[in-house]
């Protein structure tokens, strides 16, 4: 059973449900309903997940268009693709501690369901649907804007970078119970109108990587990529920018 109360989750969602049953359903995995079989627990969150996926795609598109007029469609598409991905939604679930509130069957509980990326990302979509069904578009939009959307992703897309390195690093450190990544500006070069940033990404004292870019966000993506390379090679330091001037 969940180890946290729903009021604390509502505080993180910045919304109080009028019909708590919708929220409970959004948090109920099919493994729980298959074991209990009682009338009040017959519904799991799979249909809400289906609905939430569509709502999320619409709202992310709306936010991207409103905040980034004039940005090429290709950049927006890359950013949207990542912001609605299971990998990114897993990060959102981790940030709000969603796993603590899930209703899971005994087998799923023993199997680590509360930290399983696919299960958590699906639950985020179900919660989005529950927000919409209970309160309409505005609280749903607020949640997506404040908890799901990130300027980091669109900045990386505008600089032509892959948008997944920071997300991949976040997911890996969460899965492996490592310290969360930190990003530090090491150096800034060039004129004010065309700066070049050198940023160091750190995962505790175990792994360090450096990357550069024409924006801080792009440099952070390259630094995160360097840390992932260091982790892959089991090397404490990796510098992806040996040609940095």
Please give the pLDDT value at position 240. 47
* Residue 27, H or E segment: none
pLDDT less than 50: residues of the chain: 1, 3, 41, 162, 240-245
Please give the pLDDT value at position 242. 38
Residue 227 sits in a domain whose CATH number is: 3.30.160.20
> What is the per-residue pLDDT across 89-147, written as a single tens digit (0 to 9) for each?
988 998 899 999 999 998 888 888 888 888 999 999 999 999 999 999 999 999 999 99
- pTM for the model stands at 0.65
Q: Are residues 221 and 137 in the same domain?
A: no
237 phi/psi in degrees, rounded to 5: -135, 140
Please give the pLDDT value at position 158. 58
Return d(Cα 67, Cα 114) in angstroms, integer: 34
149 phi/psi in degrees, rounded to 5: -65, 145
Please give the pLDDT value at position 241. 46
The answer to whether residue 244 sits within a structural domain is no
Q: Are residues 137 and 175 in the same domain?
A: no
Q: Are residues 194 and 90 in the same domain?
A: no
Domain count, the chain: 2
Please give the pLDDT value at position 8. 93
The answer to whether residue 12 sits within a structural domain is yes
Q: Are residues 53 and 144 in the same domain?
A: yes
Instruction: Indicate the residue among 118, 133, 154 that finishes a domain.
Output: 154
Q: Are residues 10 and 102 in the same domain?
A: yes
Return d(Cα 17, Cα 138) in angstroms, integer: 13
CA dihedral angle for residue 20, residue 22, residue 27, residue 33, rounded to 10 degrees: 110
Question: Which three-class secondary structure state does DSSP give residue 200?
Answer: strand
> Strand pairing of 207-213 and 237-239?
parallel
**Which active-site residues does the annotation give?**
53, 125
Please give the pLDDT value at position 92. 92
Q: Are residues 107 and 227 in the same domain?
A: no
Taking only Cα atoms into account, the Rg of the chain, rounded to an integer number of angstroms, comes to: 20
Please give the pLDDT value at position 195. 87
Q: Are residues 130 and 180 in the same domain?
A: no
The answer to whether residue 179 sits within a structural domain is yes
Instruction: Indicate the residue among 129, 154, 179 that finishes a domain.
Output: 154
Q: Are residues 70 and 150 in the same domain?
A: yes
Q: Are residues 150 and 174 in the same domain?
A: no
User: Can you give the residue range of the structural domain that contains 114?
Assistant: 6-154
Return d(Cα 49, Cα 161) in angstroms, integer: 30
Please give the pLDDT value at position 148. 94
Instruction: Indicate the residue among 98, 122, 154 that finishes a domain.
Output: 154
Please give the pLDDT value at position 172. 81
Q: Are residues 172 and 134 in the same domain?
A: no
User: 10 near 19, Cβ under 8 Å?
Assistant: no
The answer to whether residue 68 sits within a structural domain is yes
């Amino acid at each position: 059973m969940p180890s946290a109360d729903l009021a604390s989750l509502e505080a993180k969602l910045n919304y109080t449900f009028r019909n708590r049953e919708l929220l409970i359903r959004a948090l109920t995995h099919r493994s729980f309903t298959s074991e209990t079989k009682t009338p009040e627990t017959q519904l799991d969150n799979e249909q809400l997940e289906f609905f939430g996926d569509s709502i999320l795609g619409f709202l992310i598109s709306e936010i991207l268009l409103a905040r980034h007029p004039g940005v090429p469609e290709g950049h927006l598409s890359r950013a949207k693709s990542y912001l609605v991905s299971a990998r990114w939604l897993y990060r959102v679930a981790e940030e709000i501690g969603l796993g603590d509130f899930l209703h899971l069957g005994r087998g799923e509980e023993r199997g680590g369901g509360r930290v399983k990326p696919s299960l958590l990302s699906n639950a985020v979509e179900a919660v989005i649907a529950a927000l919409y069904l209970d309160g309409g578009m505005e609280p749903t939009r607020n949640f997506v804007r404040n908890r799901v959307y990130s300027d980091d992703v669109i900045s990386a897309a505008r600089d032509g970078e892959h948008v997944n390195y920071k997300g991949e690093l976040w997911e890996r450190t969460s899965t492996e119970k490592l310290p969360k990544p930190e990003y530090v500006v090491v150096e800034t070069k060039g004129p004010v109108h065309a700066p070049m940033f050198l940023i160091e990404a750190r995962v505790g004292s175990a792994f360090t990587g450096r990357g550069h870019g024409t924006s801080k966000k792009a440099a952070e993506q390259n630094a995160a990529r360097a840390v992932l390379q260091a982790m892959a090679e089991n090397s404490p330091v990796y510098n992806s920018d040996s040609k940095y001037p």
